[in-house]
């Protein structure tokens, strides 16, 4: 299998990044100076998060959103980071939101990984410590009104910007991000190893079943002809992941990472196509929220899609 080290750049221009790393299928790159002015770089220690937000409830997962999880407190989870072989206090929760029988623990090399905190939604002041829209790309998410952004996030159950916290060994196994968004991982604390694959190698990755760290070439022979783009993400690094690139990320130390998904002119069409595929879910979410309907001045309701009859739709209140 061919292996390529991901380039590291600084003081770049958005036009150059668009041309060299986002055009076509794209190519990942590490930007080393994107977070130089973030207060989070010095402010966000594990002790600070524990002291300021330790009572928050959060979801810690054994697997990337598909496995079992525990509802725990941020304080308990941060304490767990130093002894990930210990039992994490909390309540087991299945993907459907129900409490299942206590499941069998996952492999020892994949401890609980916290990415269900909803930190920015609970604590908007945390936005003051970062700059979600990076200087090196055009980011159209920053142009969305708060109402539209909230609607898209809550109905799709995806956050554009999130904080991931994990111990040594934490794992985001091979996957691609939602709705053909570009993404970046900005490392605040600790180091991670990332392995990425171009969309052109999709047929060689067997639907993401391959473990890039310990591949079984007998079971997945085509994987041997794939090209792996690899890097270590250091504190202060920002890894840009172009749309539809599969990536596998392992924590080498206990870590804090800011993840941001976005769209711009290079992936807008793909993003809109994905949004239209999920239109029934979005419509149902909007239909159930009078506040969103009023804020967005939406006159239709979900029944329009079924019968074309709007007489039972709630009215839109006039605005001054």
Question: For residue range 218-271, what is the model confidence (pLDDT) as tens digits?
Answer: 999 999 999 999 999 999 999 999 999 999 999 999 999 999 999 999 999 999
Query: Domain for residue 315, yes or no?
Result: no
Query: Domain for residue 289, yes or no?
Result: no
Parent domain of 158: 2-277
CATH number of the domain encompassing residue 7: 2.60.120.650
Please work out, in degrees rounded to the nearest 5, the angle formed at the alpha carbon of residue 284 by the alpha carbons of 279 and 290. Answer: 125
As a whole number, the mean pLDDT across the chain is: 88
- Beta sheet of 227-233, edge-to-edge order: 2-5, 227-233, 192-197, 246-251, 171-175
Query: Domain for residue 298, yes or no?
Result: no
Query: Domain for residue 188, yes or no?
Result: yes
Query: Domain for residue 318, yes or no?
Result: no
Rg of the chain, C-alpha, whole Å: 21
Query: Domain for residue 314, yes or no?
Result: no
Query: Domain for residue 307, yes or no?
Result: no
Distances (CA, A) of 214 to 61, 174, 192, 218: 22, 12, 17, 12
In whole angstroms, what is the distance from residue 11 CA to residue 180 CA?
27
What's the pLDDT tens digit per position in 157-187?
889 999 999 999 999 999 999 999 999 999 9
Query: Domain for residue 300, yes or no?
Result: no
Strand 91-93 vs strand 69-73: parallel, antiparallel, or unpaired? antiparallel
What's the pLDDT tens digit per position in 68-121?
889 999 999 999 999 988 899 999 887 666 776 655 555 445 799 998 899 999
Domain tally, the chain: 1
């Amino acid at each position: 299998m061919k292996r390529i080290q991901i380039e590291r750049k600084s003081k770049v221009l958005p036009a150059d990044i668009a041309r060299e790393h986002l055009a076509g299928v794209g190519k990942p790159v590490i930007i080393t100076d994107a977070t130089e002015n973030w207060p989070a770089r010095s402010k966000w220690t594990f002790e600070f998060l524990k002291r300021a937000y330790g009572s928050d409830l959060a979801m810690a997962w054994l697997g990337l959103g598909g496995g079992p999880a525990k509802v725990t407190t941020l304080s308990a989870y941060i304490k767990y980071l130093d002894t990930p072989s210990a039992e994490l206090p909390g309540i087991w929760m299945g993907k459907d939101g129900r409490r299942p029988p206590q499941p069998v623990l996952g492999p020892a090399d994949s401890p609980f990984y916290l990415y269900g905190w909803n930190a920015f939604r609970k604590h908007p002041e945390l936005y003051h410590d970062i700059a979600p829209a990076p200087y090196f790309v055009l980011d159209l998410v920053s142009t969305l009104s708060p109402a539209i952004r909230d609607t898209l996030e809550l109905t799709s159950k995806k956050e554009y910007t999130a904080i991931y916290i994990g111990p040594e060994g934490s794992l985001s196994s091979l996957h691609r991000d939602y709705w053909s968004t570009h993404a970046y991982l900005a490392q605040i604390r600790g180091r991670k190893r990332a392995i990425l694959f171009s969309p052109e190698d999709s047929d060689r990755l067997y639907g993401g079943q391959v473990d890039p760290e310990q591949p079984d070439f007998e079971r997945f022979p085509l994987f041997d002809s794939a090209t792996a783009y690899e890097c270590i993400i250091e504190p202060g690094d920002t890894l840009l992941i172009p749309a539809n690139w599969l990536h596998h990320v392992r924590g080498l130390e206990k870590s804090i990472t800011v993840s941001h998904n976005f769209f711009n002119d290079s992936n807008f069409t793909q993003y809109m196509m994905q949004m239209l595929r999920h239109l029934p879910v979005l419509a149902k979410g909007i239909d159930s929220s009078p506040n969103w309907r009023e804020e967005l001045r939406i006159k239709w309701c979900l029944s329009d899609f079924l019968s074309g009859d709007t007489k039972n739709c709630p009215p839109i209140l006039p605005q001054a």
